[in-house]
Amino acid sequence: MRFKDKVALVMGGNSGMGLATAKALAAEGAKVHLTGRNQQTIDEAVAAIPGSRGYRADIADIASSEAVVSAIEAEDGRIDVLYINAGVGGFAPLRAITPESWDQTHSINLKGCVFALQKAVRIISKGGAIVVTGSIGAHGALPGNGVYAAAKGGLYAAMKVFAAELVGEGIRLNMVSPGPIDTPLLHRNPGMSDADVATLKQRMIESIPMHRMGESDEVAKAVLFLASEDASFITAANLFVDGGLLELR
Ligand SMILES: NC(=O)c1ccc[n+]([C@@H]2O[C@H](COP(=O)([O-])OP(=O)(O)OC[C@H]3O[C@@H](n4cnc5c(N)ncnc54)[C@H](OP(=O)(O)O)[C@@H]3O)[C@@H](O)[C@H]2O)c1
C-alpha cells in the first residue's frame, strides 16, 4: 500500500501500460484519475478501478489538460503522483514523412506531454512524483522511427531540464523508457494488417535478449517504483524496461 491516501493522475490511462499502471496504483491505495480519448475504454477502466475518475481529454488540446487538472483540484485539491503516458506510434521512413505527420505525432508525444506537465505541476504536492513515458526508440536507430524518436528524444531532453527546475521544490521527475511491450499500440498502425503486426512482433522477439516482448504490468511495476518512496533519492533517471534490448545488442 505504498500509495495509500495519494491522489494519482494517469494521462493515457485507459489502455496498455497506462491502464496497467492505473490499476496497480489503485491496488496500492491511490485514488486514481485517468484520461484518454476513447470514451468506451475510459468507462471500462473506471468500472474496473474502484473509486477512480475518468476524463475524455486529448493531450494535444492543452485546454483539455487544464480542464482535467482543474477538476482534480476541485475534487481533491492536489496531485501526488502524475504519470504522463499518452502517446502514439507510427512508422514512416524519411522519404515518406510529411509536415502533417510530424506535427500530429509531436503535438501528442512531445508538445502535448510537456504542456500537460505544465498544467498539472500547478497542483502537484511537495514531495510529489512525476513519471513520464519515453521510449528506447529515442536512443536507438530503428529505420522508419525518425519522427517518433525525435518526439520521445525531445521529451527526454526536456524532462531532464524540468527535473532540475522541480528538484528544489521537493518534486521528483523520472522517465521510464520501454522497449517492445505487448499492448494495443502496434495494432493501431494504419496500413499494417494483423499479419504484418505478427511479423513485426516476431522480428522484435528475435532481437530482444530475453526473447519475448514485455508486458504492461512490467512497465507498471517500474512506474510504481519511480513514483514511490522506494525511489526517494532518484530524480532525472531514465529507466529502461526493455529486456536488455538497448544495452545488450
Ligand atoms: N508498446 C510499446 O512497445 C512502447 C514502447 C515504447 C514506448 N511506448 C510508449 O508507451 C506509451 C503507452 O503506449 P502503449 O504501448 O500502452 O499503447 P496504447 O495501448 O495504445 O496506449 C496509449 C495510451 O495513450 C493514450 N493516448 C494516445 N493519444 C492520446 C491523446 N492525444 N490524448 C490523450 N490520450 C492519448 C491512449 O488513449 P486512447 O486509447 O483513448 O487514444 C492510451 O491510453 C506511449 O507513450 C508509447 O509511445 C510504447
Atom index in ligand 1 nearest the CA of residue 180 equals 3
Residue 175: CB partners within 8 Å, gap ≥ 6? 131, 132, 133, 134, 155, 156, 159, 237, 238, 239
**Ligand 1 atom with minimal separation from the 17 CA:** 16
Do 1 and 29 form a contact (C-beta atoms < 8 A)?
A: yes
Question: How do the domains of the chain map onto residue ranges?
Answer: 7-248
Percent of the chain surpassing pLDDT 90: 94
Q: Tell me how far the alpha carbon of residue 25 lies from the centroid of ligand 1, in angstroms.
A: 18
Weakest-pLDDT range from 21-25, 43-47, 199-203 = 199-203
Q: Where are the beta strands (DSSP E) in 12-97?
A: 31-36, 53-56, 79-84
Output the ligand 1 site: residues, CB below 6 A: 12-18, 35-38, 41, 58-60, 85-89, 108, 133, 135, 178, 180-181, 183-185, 188
CB distance 139 to 200 below 8 Å: no
- The catalytic site residues sit at 148
In terms of CATH architecture, what is 7-248?
A: 3-Layer(aba) Sandwich (3.40)
- Ligand 1 mean position to 50 CA, how many Å? 22
d(CA 198, CA 190): 15
Amino acid (one-letter) located at 147: V
Calculate the CA dihedral of residues 212, 217, 222, 226 and round it to 10 degrees: 160
* Predicted confidence (pLDDT) per residue in 79-127, tens digit: 999 999 999 998 899 999 999 999 999 999 999 999 999 999 999 999 9
Which one, of 50, 124, 42, 137, lies nearest residue 89 by Cα? Answer: 137
Closest listed residue to residue 71, CA positions, set 88, 57, 87, 81 = 57
CB-based contacts of 56: which residues, under 8 Å, 6+ apart? Answer: 35, 36, 37, 39, 42
Of all protein residues, the one whose alpha carbon is nearest to atom 45 of ligand 1 is: 87
- As a whole number, the mean pLDDT across the chain is 97
Coil, helix or strand at residue 175:
strand
22 pLDDT exceeds 80? yes
Do residues 171 and 82 make contact, with C-beta atoms less than 8 angstroms apart? no
In the prediction, which pLDDT does 90 show?
A: 86
Give yes or no for residue 152 having a pLDDT over 80.
yes
Within 13 Å, how many C-alpha atoms sit on residue 30's CB side? 27
- Residue 187, pLDDT above cutoff 90: no
Which amino acid, one-letter code, is at 125?
Answer: S
- Closest CA to ligand 1's atom 2: 181
Q: Whose CA is nearest to atom 7 of ligand 1?
A: 135
What is the amino acid identity at position 25?
A: L
Report pLDDT for 186. Answer: 87
DSSP summary character for residue 233: T
Q: Whose CA is nearest to atom 43 of ligand 1?
A: 12
Whether pLDDT at 191 is above 90: no
- pLDDT class of 249 with cuts at 50, 70, 90: confident
What's the whole-number mean pLDDT along residues 184-205? 89
Calculate what percentage of the chain has a pLDDT beyond 70: 100
